[in-house]
Amino acid sequence: MSLAIFDLDNTLICDDSDHLWGQFLVEKKLVDSAHYARINTQFYDDYCRGELNINEYLTFALSFLAEHPLEQLLQWREVFINEKIRPLVLPAAVTLVEKHRSNGDTLLVITATNRFVTEPIVKLFGIPHMLASEPELINGRYTGRFINEPCYQQGKVIRLAQWLDDNNLDLKGSTFYSDSHNDIPLLEKVAHPVAVDPDDKLTQHANTQHWPIISLRT
């Protein structure tokens, strides 16, 4: 039994759930639209360039969670999943996950996007394990802060190493699927790195390293 690891955004789904959540809040007029949209897009552009300050971004993204009761947040999130996410689930990604499941592999999603946004998305794929950036929740209310190492770039390597240790697992025979050059640190750790509809920087790196490149969008 080997570990099959999947990035989420632009890998299993064909867009970025973190950015889409911000757009959803703007569309529903749940935030100061013009201001929030500008900052949300700025952070996303930083991410695409590999220049995101993850601490600053999480402070921005999690502040909304701290402003509202959990029950209301969950209602908004359900609308978000149904309207924005379900149409983005890639059938080929579902097939790929099921192939690894039928092989008896341990399935894990590892994503920089926070758990509040991603947990129900991962459940759509029936993947039992997930590592994500973790918003702090105290007495049923989000605080706006985050706990643990943010699950971004080298942080994914750190969080995965902790998870492997906790679960008495290793990376022997492991596979990691990702679209982003931000995941190169983790791609270099697994036995079988796979670039999925990769961005330009990851395409170049994958070609240099002779990693397989696949598409789940065709």
- Is residue 218 scored above 80 in pLDDT? no
Residue 16 structure tokens = 């970025």
Binned at pLDDT 50, 70 and 90, residue 209 comes out as very high
What DSSP designation does 9 have? B
15 part of the active site: no
Mean pLDDT of 29-38: 89
* Catalytic annotation, pick one of 7, 16, 105, 199: 7
If we measure between CA atoms, which residue out of 88, 111, 112 comes closest to residue 24? 88
Q: Where are the alpha helices (DSSP H) in the chain?
A: 17-27, 33-49, 54-66, 70-80, 91-102, 115-124, 154-166, 184-187, 200-209
Query: Residue 1: what pLDDT?
Result: 77
What are the pLDDT digits (tens) for 172-203?
A: 999 999 999 999 999 999 999 999 999 999 99
For residue range 113-163, list pLDDT tens digits in order.
999 999 999 999 999 999 999 999 999 999 999 999 999 999 999 999 999
Q: Is 46 one of the catalytic residues?
A: no
DSSP codes, 86-109: GGGB-HHHHHHHHHHHHTTPEEEE
Catalytic residue among 9, 18, 183, 199: 9
Return d(Cα 18, Cα 20) in angstroms, integer: 5
Q: Kindly report the CATH class assigned to 1-218.
A: alpha beta
Task: Show me where the domains of the chain are located.
Answer: 1-218
Query: pTM, whole model, 2 decimals?
Result: 0.95
